[in-house]
Amino acid sequence: MRIGMPINYARDFHETVEALREYEAAGLDVVFLPEAYTFDAVSQLGYIAAKTSTLQLCSSILNIYSRTPTLLAMTAAGIDYVSGGRFTMGVGASGPQVIEGFHGLRHDAPLARTREVVEICHRVWRREPVEFHGRHHDIPLSPEKGGSGLGKPLKLINHPLRDRIPLVLAALGPKNVELAAELFDGWEPLFYLPERAKDTFADALRAGRSKRSTKLPPLDVIVDTKVLISEDEAELAAARQQVREHLALYIGGMGAKGKNFYNDLAVRFGFPETASRVQDLFLSGRRKEAAAAIPRRLIDGVALVGPPGWVSERLAAFAESGVTTLNATPLATTHRHRVKDITALRRSAG
């Protein structure tokens, strides 16, 4: 199992990247850089590439709406080049809050758009003249869709290091998970409960793998989690509270009723009453009560917060359920402790 870690975009970025060298020396395999309505991930990934030498780099995630498919492909090829072939492009549909609220674009047809993005990216990386006339993307833009008629198919001027840069899809819904298993190198769900993973995702993964090309590698299952390894009950309680608040934000606040992917996932994980109550409380402005409504059983299921032996057992449960990359956010209050926890995960993961 690979061990990865997300970069916290709310802290001093330069300081965070300097600290990455210690994680790299400790055996960290991959770093994930989120992009929401933050600084863009692309410029920061280039900076990380220059400051590290072995860390794999992954965008987590670039949405499929605010950049054209050809720009996504150009961007991936550029980061892959400056990093010496260490880049994986994580993409996803994001949600209406970001796409419509921040970018002013319609959040529609995520499945069909994603499929088209994958095909166009592969054509760009193979340096083929890009001619694609799909339902959502028209290259070159035809006169029927407002083009001048002067455009012609072009191919990427530069030669990419690789003609196939790994692609990861962030996905939770059954159809999106199926698409990840069919077309992508990796799949990244946000919350993951090992004991419920089979019941929740197996059908979609099986359907996607049945259509998967034999040219693709085995699907990399990339799971987000939080980690604190400690015997100190006060430290553990504080860390569990962070997990509780994080879960409440997503289950309760990331979308209106009926349009919250994370709330739906909590239901599929077997917590329907929790999902309903947390959402009601959060949307009515009672955020502390929403967090308090998150049960300990869910926290312990999705996070690695506990003493060393317990964390090792839970790490084994993640591995047994099919996880191949763990994207772990350290919750310790000191840098030394955070590095220690990542080191321990790396050793336990083998």
pLDDT digits (tens, 9 = 90+) for 267-305: 999 999 999 999 999 999 999 999 999 999 999 999 999
Burial of 270 (0-12, 13-18, 19+ CB in 10 A): middle
Range 2-224+306-349: architecture per CATH: Alpha-Beta Barrel (3.20)
Which residues make Cβ contacts (< 8 Å) with residue 290, sequence separation at least 6? Answer: 248, 252, 277, 278, 279, 281, 282
Q: For 127-182, how does the pLDDT look when each residue is reduced to its tens digit (9 = 90+)? A: 999 999 999 999 999 999 999 999 999 999 999 999 999 999 999 999 999 999 99
Contact 156, 279 (CB under 8 A): no
* Residue 9, pLDDT above cutoff 90: no
Which pTM was predicted? 0.94
**What CA–CA distance (Å, rounded) separates 289 from 302?**
20
Q: For 85-95, how does the pLDDT look when each residue is reduced to its tens digit (9 = 90+)? A: 999 999 999 98
Residue 84 backbone phi and psi in degrees, to 5: 70, 35
Tokens of 17: 């990247």
* Residue 211, pLDDT above cutoff 90: yes
How is the chain split into domains, by residue range?
2-224+306-349, 231-305
